[in-house]
Amino acid sequence: MDLAKSVGVINVNINSKKILIMSKTSRPIIETKSLGKKVSVADGDLSILSSVDLTINKGESIAIVGASGSGKSTLLGLLAGLDSPSEGIIKLDGEDLTALDEDGRADIRNKLVGFVFQSFQLMQRLSALENVMLPLELRGDQQAKKTATDLLSRVGLGHRLGHTPMKLSGGEQQRVALARAFVTQPAILFADEPTGNLDSKTGEQIIELLFELNQEKNTTLVLVTHDKVLASRCQRSVQIEAGQLV
Ligand SMILES: Nc1ncnc2c1ncn2[C@@H]1O[C@H](COP(=O)(O)OP(=O)(O)OP(=O)(O)O)[C@@H](O)[C@H]1O
Ligand SMILES: [Mg+2]
C-alpha cells in the first residue's frame, strides 16, 4: 500500500488492480481559482499576484517558497481571508470568502484560522501570556490562563510570561506569535516564515511542534518559508515567481 500523501489518497493494489481510496484527509479545505491581486501605485495598477489556482486538502502540509518580493505573504494573506483579491475566488472549507464582507470573513477566520505574521503583530501593551490568552478569552474559555501558560512553556518561554513584546528578542516574539496562532487549535495554520528568526535548535523544536499539531489534530499547515529543513518536512512545496505559481 502506498500513501499518496500529498493528496490524501490511498493507492491499494488488489489483484494487480490499482484502487484509489479517498482518505478522510482528501477533502479540499482551501481552494482558489484564478486568484489575482493588483494594487494602485503612482503610475497605475501593479499586479502582484495572478492566475493562482491552488487546492489544499484537509490535513495537508504545504510550503510556499520563492524569492523575496515574489508574492508569498500576499498569497498567504489572501488564503487566510485577511485581504481580498482583485480577481478570482477563494474558498475556505467550502465557503466562498469573496462573497462575504469583512465581518463574514472574520467569522470564518475565527472558526478556522490561526495566522503567524512575518512581522508577528503582537499586542505591544500585553504580556506574552496575555497575548496568547487573548484568542481564548475572546471565546470565553475559562481555562485560558492555564492553556496559554502550558503552550508558552512548550515553545520554551515559560520563564518570560510577563514580558511585553518590547522586552522579548525577535525569536522569542516569533514563538509568542506561534503560540497565539496555535492556542485555539485552528483547522488551518498559516505561518509566514515561522522559523525566520530562530537559531537552528529552536527552529527544530518549533518544526516538531508544528508537525505534532499536524499529526495529532490533523491541522492543515500552510507555511511560507526559506528554511529548507522546514520545506522538506512538508508533504509538498509550491513555488511562486513574480506573482505566479510555477
Ligand atoms: N500594498 C502594496 N502596495 C504596493 N506594492 C505592494 C503592496 N503589497 C505588496 N507589494 C509588493 O508586492 C510584491 C510581493 O510582496 P510580498 O510581501 O507578497 O512578497 P514576499 O514574497 O512575501 O517577500 P519576502 O520574502 O521578502 O517576505 C513586493 O514587490 C511588494 O513590494
Ligand atoms: Mg513575505
Using a 10 angstrom Cβ sphere, with 0-12 exposed, 13-18 middle and 19 or more buried, the burial of residue 128 is buried
Distance in Å, CA 118 to ligand 2 centroid: 6
Distance in Å, CA 69 to ligand 2 centroid: 7
User: In the numeric block, which cell numbers belong to residue 90?
Assistant: 477563494
SS3 42: coil
SS3 203: helix
Are 65 and 59 a contacting pair, CB within 8 Å? no
User: If you ran DSSP here, which 8-state letter would residue 167 be given?
Assistant: G
Distance in Å, CA 242 to ligand 1 centroid: 10
Q: Which residue has better confidence, 21 or 95?
A: 95
Laid out side by side, the sheet with 113-116 consists of 113-116, 188-192, 220-224, 61-65, 236-241, 244-245
pLDDT in tens, 213-242: 899 889 999 999 999 999 999 999 999 999
The predicted model scores a pTM of 0.88
Quick check: 5 pLDDT over 50? no
Domains present along the chain, CATH in parentheses: 2-245 (3.40.50.300)
Q: For position 213, what pLDDT does the model report?
A: 86
Nearest ligand, CA 192 = 2
Among 70, 86, 225, name the best residue to mutate to test ligand 1's pocket (greatest count of ligand atoms within 8 A of Cβ): 70
Quick check: 36 pLDDT over 90? yes
State if residue 68 touches ligand 1 by the CB under 6 angstroms criterion.
Answer: yes
Helices (runs of H) and strands (runs of E) counted in the chain: 7, 13
pLDDT band at 205 (very low <50, low <70, confident <90, very high): confident
